[in-house]
Amino acid sequence: MRAVIQRVLQAEVKVKDEQVGQIDKGLLVYLSVGKDDSLKDAEFMAEKLVNLRIFADEAGKMNRSVLDIGGNILLVSNFTLHGDCRKGRRPGFDYAAQPQLAQQLYEKVAELIAEQGVALEKGIFGEYMHVTSTNDGPVTFLLDSSRLF
C-alpha cells in the first residue's frame, strides 16, 4: 500500500460536482493498494496514519498526531500511486491491485482508522473525483507499507 499524506487546513472531494467528503484541520490521504497487499498492509497503514506525529506541539516541533489534535482524515483512493513511470512515456499499472481487492483493502483502512477514534471522510472508490485542499506548511509525506520509502 502506498499513501501520499498531506497536512491540511481543509480539504474536500467532489464527484460529479457533488461534495462527498470534507474536512477541516487534519490529513488528506491519497491511498493506493498494490497487487500483493493484504490485511497486514491495511493494519500498518491505518495505525501509521492515525499516529504519525506531523502536527506541531507548543514548541513548534512535529510531535502530535491527527488523533492528538482531534483532527480529521479525508481518505481518497488513487491507484496511480502504483504507476510505474520508469520506462517510456506512459505509466504502467502492473503493480496496482485489481479493483475488487483494492476496494476491500481501501474500505478496511477506512474502518480501522474510524475504530481508532479519528473522524473520517472518504471519496468514492473508483469514481472520477475532484479534490481541493489548503495545505498546511506544506507538509507532505510518502508512505509505503512495504517500507520501500
DSSP states of 7-20: EEEEEEEEETTEEE
Cα radius of gyration (the chain):
15
Given the residues 80, 132, 134, 140, select the one marked as catalytic.
80
Evaluate if pTM is beyond 0.95. Answer: yes
Instruction: Tell me if residue 134 is catalytic.
Output: no
The CATH superfamily of 2-144 is: D-tyrosyl-tRNA(Tyr) deacylase (3.50.80.10)
- Domain ranges in the chain? 2-144
C-alpha 120/C-alpha 107 separation (Å) is 12
State the residue for C-alpha cell 498546511. Answer: 136
Q: What is the per-residue pLDDT across 54-87, written as a single tens digit (0 to 9) for each?
A: 999 999 999 999 999 999 999 999 999 999 999 9
Ranges of residues in the chain whose predicted pLDDT is under 70: none
